[in-house]
Amino acid sequence: MNPIRQRPLSVGPLRAFEAVARRASFSAAAEELHLTQPAISRQIRSLEEELGAPLFLRGTRHVELTGAGATLLRATAPLLDRLDASVRHIRTSQGRRHVSLTTFASFTSLWLLPRLADFQSQYPDIDIRISATDTLVGQDDPELDLGLRYCHPDDAPAGSDLLFGEVLTPVANPSMPLHQPQDLARQTLIEQDDHQPSSEYLSWRRWLREYAPPGTEPRGWIYLNYTSQQIQAALAGQGVALARMAMITEALARGELVEPFGTGKRLTSPYAYWLVRWQGHGKEPRPEVQAFADWLLAQAALTRACLDN
């Protein structure tokens, strides 16, 4: 029985393995890594010897992962991504000042990006790096300075700053003939389609129960799982969206969307938007991070004023 080897694996063979697995080709991996194909093959053989298991089934035209290879890839790919991101962070942190933040995609496109030019005009020497993902990123990422999150107050990380609450309102293209809630029976409703706990508060069914005559049913439904898609569909006149007001204040001000039933037919939700300040990791607060956080809070105050009107 061979003893189990305990020494750690080298990064070079792991990078070669990940490239071969991703490209399904030794030659393509060699070209990507600027190595020869024999060099890639030697690294893979070395890795297989270290692990005591084959990683690929080698065919004449392609390679395929074995079970052991698939297991190793699941662990290797995210680690290499994290390593590369850390290297980029170290290299660039020696140059221009920057702020890194994470938030969800619809908030980025509908709320943050339309306002960002204002910050850049005030601080042209600060670069902003945005990681837009709908997956909540933990506070253990050393490359992040701030987070913008949407959650219930009970789930907001300690020390978070409230940006604004959730207000929902029907919105539509100005050309749509809407005057009373019963007019929705002749329209298509654009509905939030996900399985998040907040979905019950974003539902048209909730609004119809509150404000429409009993039994009101729309002509049809469009189900979309991204807020930005719902707003795009409403702008295009494809239906009526029950929109998150914080995301559409500019579109309403420009007249691109209208609130056909007025401010009296709005709904609120216990969920809200928060600014999270990443702490720890041996990092001291940097002036540029504080400047961006202060700017975010000032912009949030303007949004709150719109929600209260």
Task: Encode the chain (309 residues) as per-residue pLDDT tens digits.
Answer: 445 555 667 788 888 888 888 888 888 888 888 888 888 889 899 888 888 889 988 876 678 899 998 998 888 888 888 887 777 766 665 567 889 898 988 899 999 999 999 999 999 989 998 887 766 555 556 678 899 999 999 988 888 999 999 999 999 999 999 999 999 999 999 998 877 778 888 899 999 999 999 999 999 999 998 899 999 999 999 999 999 999 999 999 999 999 999 999 999 999 999 999 876 545 566 899 999 999 999 999 999 998 886
Contact yes or no for 76/83 (Cβ under 8 A): no
160: nearest Cα among 44, 278, 303: 278
Q: How far apart are CA 204 and CA 240, in angstroms?
A: 10
Per-residue model confidence (pLDDT) at position 131:
84
Residue keyed to tokens 């129960």 = 209
The last residue of one of the domains, among 60, 92, 124, is: 92
User: Is 264 found in the same domain as 170?
Assistant: yes
User: Is 285 found in the same domain as 234?
Assistant: yes
The enclosing domain of 226 has a CATH number of: 3.40.190.290
User: Is 260 found in the same domain as 234?
Assistant: yes
User: Is 249 found in the same domain as 135?
Assistant: yes
**Number of domains into which the chain is organized:** 2
Contact yes or no for 244/227 (Cβ under 8 A): yes
Assigned domain for 171 exists: yes
User: Is 185 found in the same domain as 54?
Assistant: no
- List the Cα angle 307/288/277 in 5-degree steps: 60
User: Is 109 found in the same domain as 88?
Assistant: no
- Could you tell me the residue range of the domain that residue 171 belongs to? 97-309
Q: How far apart are CA 61 and CA 42, in angstroms?
A: 19
User: Is 221 found in the same domain as 79?
Assistant: no
| Sign of the alpha-carbon torsion through 301, 303, 307, 309 | positive
- Residue 173 has φ and ψ, to the nearest 5°, of -60, 140
Per-residue model confidence (pLDDT) at position 60:
62
Per-residue model confidence (pLDDT) at position 136:
59
Q: Give CA separation, 6 vs 9, 20, 54, 62, 308, in Å.
A: 9, 25, 18, 32, 62
